[in-house]
Amino acid sequence: MPVHILRSRFDAVMSLIKTNWFPRALHHDFCPWANAYVYWLKRPIGWVILAFASSLLLGIYVSPQAFTASGAIAAVGIIGSLWPWLSTLGLKGQLAWSPSRCEQFDTIETTLTVTNRWPWPVWGMVLESDEGISGSSNSRNVRISLSRIPGLSKSQFRWNCSPAYRGIYPKTTPRLSTAFPFGIWSCNQPLKVTEPLVVWPRMTKLVDVPSNTGNQVLGIGGTTDRAGDDGEWIGVRAYRPGDSLRQVHWAQTARRDNLVVFERQSRSQQTVRIQLDSAAFAEDAPSVNDAMVRTFASVANHFLSHAWNTMVAIDAPWASLHPSKRTTWLDHLAGWEPTQLPEPPLSSASPTQKSNTLSILVTSAKRWDQQHHQSIYRTSPSTYVLLVDDTHAVDSARSDWSCKPSNTWSIPTGETFEDSLRTVWREICQTSLAQGVSCAS
């Protein structure tokens, strides 16, 4: 048989062994029933105890020379256990962030103040904290470590941190732990936190603002001389069916012998309703969940900054946002977690909602595909649906766009999320312009 065939077969066999049999053999649990009894071997101290017991038994029954080994192992075990305990005994620490509120991926300064009340120094401390804030800006996956804390001293450690996830930290008590010198047993000391760190979802700066007020230019703030229901009365007109009897101008009515009503100004501040579909949150799609919240926050913040009457809802009755309560709302959003409650019904249009109120729904493409909401939003031309999707789903979704209503927009997650959001938003504004509304930028 030719050599090259032999070689190829050999390579195939070795490849099979390497990629299939051998790893499978290494990772297969041959006796799962024993896991409950040997779980302690996962920790190094378990091996030390096992080695000590083995050498002790060997010393008793085989040869007294094994006592030397058992003594050495016992010494290592005792030193490895006592040293970390003694090290952490006199430590007291405090963790603080500056500033205490930030957005995702912002660089903030973390200060760790450790007081060592014992006369001996402590080496090899590690900060155990929530994922996302336990690393530095340069290497988020590497935990912060302290090389040495001198005895009878107060040490301050500072580093820059970029929280990767929104939330109110710390979610778990941060601890200083050490397993120095041998790494077989670790002891820890909880840290005090003076003020929690609130990480808001990262908000993308949007540029355009869609309008829903016809051909007229909007005024920002106050009322305009356009007929409406707010502000001062600007004139009278004939009664139309549907007008409230409170608006009847009785004097003019008596003069003209026809019902005449007041005409009032209208608010120049338009209303937008933004809803986040909490049922779209899935545990297996953290990037989609994060992107949905970011989209929701970015859009709401954008309208708020343009003095729109912003109404937001997340599984709850609509709440009106005010610029003075922006911080409170963002704090709430930072700490919000989707609940396990049954799927809440999406808020349908309230009886007082006018058909031309701008509505924005933020949901996921997967959820949209369940076609639960299309019927609700199909008939409303001023409703826009933002579908957050991960990168893989975008390709498949494109082929299905012809089935979606024209007011749905997909935003892929990933590194280009912010650019995609801006692009989509611009398209939304242009679309609203093409549909006969003016777009003020």
Partner 1 sequence: MTIPNASKNWTVFLLASLASLSILSLRLSGSSDRIWLSCEFAFIWFVAFFVRWVSSHQSKTNRPKEAAVQKVPAASLGTPGWLLFLGTIAILSPWLSSIAQVRLLGSSGEANELIWLAMLQYAALWGAAVAERDRSEWISFLMSCFLVIFGLATSDRPNMIQLVIPFAAVACWWLMAKYWVSIEQGFVASESVPLIRMRALVLGSIALIAGITLAIMTKQSIRNSALDGFMPTSGGQKRGESWSRQGVGDGDMLVAAKDEAYTFGPVDSDLFLDSEVPSMYDMVSEMYGEPTPRQRQYARAISLENQAQELEEEGTESKKNSREFSVLRQPNQKTQNHRPTGSDSRAVLYLVGRTPQWLRLESYDRFSDNTWSHSENIDLSRRHGEPTLESIAGKPWMRLQSFARDLVFPVHERIATKVIQFKSPRLLTPSLITFTHIDRIDQPDFFSWTRDGQLMMPNREHVPQLTVVHQLLQIPQLHPLRDTNNPLSNISHLSRAHTSDDWIQRYTHVDSTSPRIRSTLDDWFRATKQESGQPTTDWQRIETIVRNLRTFQHDNHSVPPADCTDTIPYVLEKKCAPDYLIASTAVMLIRKLGIPCRLCTGFFASPARYDARAGQTEVIPEDLHTWAEVYIHGIWIPIEPTGSYPQPREHRSWQQWAIQTAWLIRDTIRTHPIACSLFACGLGLAFYFRRSIVFGATCLILVLIPLLSESTKLRMTLRLLRWREWLWSQHRAPRTTLQDWLSGKLKSLTRTTNLDTATFIRSAQRMAYGPKKNTLLWTDHETQSIRSVYRSLLCSGIFGCRRLRPTQSSQTVVTTPQGKDSNFVFE
Least distance CB 128 / partner 1 (angstroms)? 11
Tell me the CA distances in angstroms from 71 to 29, 55, 57, 63, one per residue in order. 34, 9, 12, 14
Of the pair 20, 355, the CB lying nearest partner 1 is at 20
Nearer to partner 1, 194 or 355 (CB): 194
Closest to partner 1 by CB, 70 vs 408, is 70
Shortest separation between residue 82's beta carbon and partner 1, angstroms? 15
Q: Considering the complex, what minimum distance in angstroms separates the CB of residue 10 from partner 1?
A: 8
Question: Of 145 and 430, which has the nearer Cβ to partner 1?
Answer: 145
- Bridge partners for 206 per DSSP: none
Q: Which is nearer to partner 1, 149 or 292 (CB)?
A: 149
CB 63 to partner 1: min, Å: 5
CB nearer partner 1, residue 109 or residue 225? 109
Residue 179 CB, shortest distance to partner 1, in Å, is 6
Write the single-letter amino acid at 324: S
Closest distance between partner 1 and the C-beta of residue 69, in Å? 5
| Two tokens, residue 204 | 């993308």
Residues at the interface with partner 1 (CB under 8 A): 10-11, 14-15, 17-19, 22-23, 26-27, 47, 51, 54-55, 58-59, 62-63, 65-66, 68-69, 72-73, 76, 80, 115, 117, 124, 126, 135-136, 139, 142-150, 152-159, 179-184, 194
Query: Who's near 387: CB < 8 A, 6+ residues apart?
Result: 363, 364, 365, 368, 397, 408, 409, 410, 411
Kindly state the smallest distance separating residue 411's Cβ from partner 1, in Å. 28
CB of 192 to partner 1, least distance (A): 10
**Residue whose CB is less far from partner 1, 80 or 201:** 80
Is the Cβ of residue 67 or residue 165 nearer to partner 1 in the bound state?
Answer: 67
Token pair for residue 169?
Answer: 């930290």
